[in-house]
Amino acid sequence: MPVKAWISALRLRTLPLALSSILMGSILAAAHGYFSWPVFGWAVLTTILLQILSNLANDYGDTHHGADSHQRIGPQRAVQSGAITPQAMQRAIVLFAFLSLLAGLQLISTAFGWGSRYFYLFLGLGLISIAAAYTYTAGARPYGYAGLGDLAVLLFFGLVGVGGSYFLFSQHFDWPVLAPAVAVGALATGVLNINNLRDALSDRQAGKRTIPVRWGHRAAIVYHIALLLTAIIAAGGYLWYSGVGSNVLWWLPAVGLLVVNGIRVARTRPEQLDPNLRQLAMATLLFVLLFGVALLV
């Protein structure tokens, strides 16, 4: 078994970004006195499994539909390179879908109890999340090729990821939580946008209608900066609403990293964008952690 190829296919570098949603929801819950370690642990495990499922499905789907080809600028993918066969990748996708379902069932039963009024609602959300992770670039009509990837990331990394995890702890919803949820969703969408800026040439040839493909490079840069500003304004607005006072200074270094990312993305050629993608993913995690320090200290 090509262990190195499988480790590469898991794309472990994407996990900090995925965990940012759960961390933000958990921080908000802790600020309101609702935190639970068992719920947090199962939420983290479920998120990791869903992200890996998405990564494997993306590797398989983009190769199948032609976005990952020899002309692709970014890192070589496992199925594209032949390191992993399509059949083996399909089996791995089924395995991680099953593991995601099991972990999700344990998560919602821990949070709400089996058969409670919220159990089936979150079971439905979990099944939708599994389906969305697969059909982003895989399946007969992947929504990522229709240009809906940005909307899906904003929804699942932001509103569902942050708002849903907050609800798991609190069992109710507070409307101000939408602001930090939008902030995390916007940053996750920014990471996707860098990926799409890098892959615009191969995506265009494969018929994948991402923002850079439809709008062009310059407009996609403006869009990227707008996403970063949205995150800063939304999260900063929540901290102001919460009355953190001078504690906001703890959060400002993360804002500085976002400013640096915007400048670098605007000045970097597509084939050299990959380091900026990694930088924004890590900056998002730091953004959430320092937001938590400002809110909780």
Check residue 75 and give its pLDDT. Answer: 60
Confidence of residue 86 (pLDDT cuts 50, 70, 90): confident
Q: Average pLDDT over the chain, rounded to whole?
A: 90
Q: For residue 185, give both structure tokens.
A: 């969703």
The average pLDDT across 74-93 equals 77
pLDDT tens readout for residues 161-202 = 999 999 999 999 899 999 999 999 999 999 999 999 998 988
Check residue 206 and give its pLDDT: 79
Is 272 within a domain? Answer: yes
Share of the chain above pLDDT 90, in %: 68
Each as own residue / partner, the long-range contacts of residues 98-104 (CB below 8 Å, 24 or more positions apart, any chain) are: 99/49, 100/46, 100/49, 100/50, 100/53, 100/126, 100/129, 100/130, 100/133, 101/126, 101/127, 101/130, 103/42, 103/45, 103/46, 103/49, 104/46, 104/129, 104/130
Q: Is residue 4 part of a domain?
A: no
Q: Residue 78's pLDDT is what? A: 66
Q: For the chain, what is the domain count?
A: 1
Q: Which amino acid is at 62?
A: D
Residue 1 placed within a domain: no
Per-residue model confidence (pLDDT) at position 67: 46
Using CA atoms, how far residue 225 sits from 191, 200, 221, in Å, is 12, 18, 6
Amino acid at 215: W
In sequence order, the 6+-apart residues with CB closer than 8 A to the CB of 128 are: none
Side chain identity at residue 293, one-letter code: V
Among residues 141, 132, 185, the alpha carbon closest in space to that of 161 is found at: 185
Domain extent, residue 123, equals 13-296
Whether pTM > 0.85 for this model: the answer is yes
217 found inside a domain: yes
Q: At what angle are helices 37-65 and 119-135 packed, to 10 degrees?
A: 30
Instruction: Determine which helix (DSSP H) or strand (DSSP E) holds 46, and give its type and residue range.
Output: helix 37-65
**pLDDT tens-digit map of 11-55:** 888 899 899 999 999 999 999 999 999 999 999 999 999 999 988
Highest mean pLDDT among 4-8, 49-53, 201-205, 254-258: 254-258
